[in-house]
Amino acid sequence: MSYGKYFVIWIWLIVLLAAGTFISTLPISKTTAVGLILFVSLIKAILVALFYMHLKFERLVPLWIVAGFPFFLIGLATLLVFAGIVSG
């Protein structure tokens, strides 16, 4: 992969960082803001995993299972928090 691709991904990460910061200043409910920020953070995590960790180029299925399991746990934790089952 050329350095140009890394630069483009880096620019996208900066844009998504700015988007998350901008979302936090919007006059919307806290729950909606947190949900949007988590969604933007998930996109950033996927970009980092695919390109900087080179998972996009892996052909091993077990590696995808190992790499994807934390996303499942994060999604489950988010669901439990929004459902009110876990309070912090």
Domains of the chain by residue range: 3-83
Mean of pLDDT values over 20-38: 93
- pLDDT, one tens digit per residue, over 31-65 is 999 999 999 998 998 898 888 877 666 666 676 67
0.85 cut: is pTM over it? no
State the chain's mean pLDDT as an integer.
Answer: 85
Three-class SS of residue 11?
helix
- Residue 78 · residue 38 · CB < 8 Å: yes
Q: What is the pLDDT at residue 59? A: 65
> Where do we find the tokens 């080179």?
54
Task: Render 14-30 in DSSP notation, one character per residue.
Answer: HHHHHHHHHHHHSSS-H
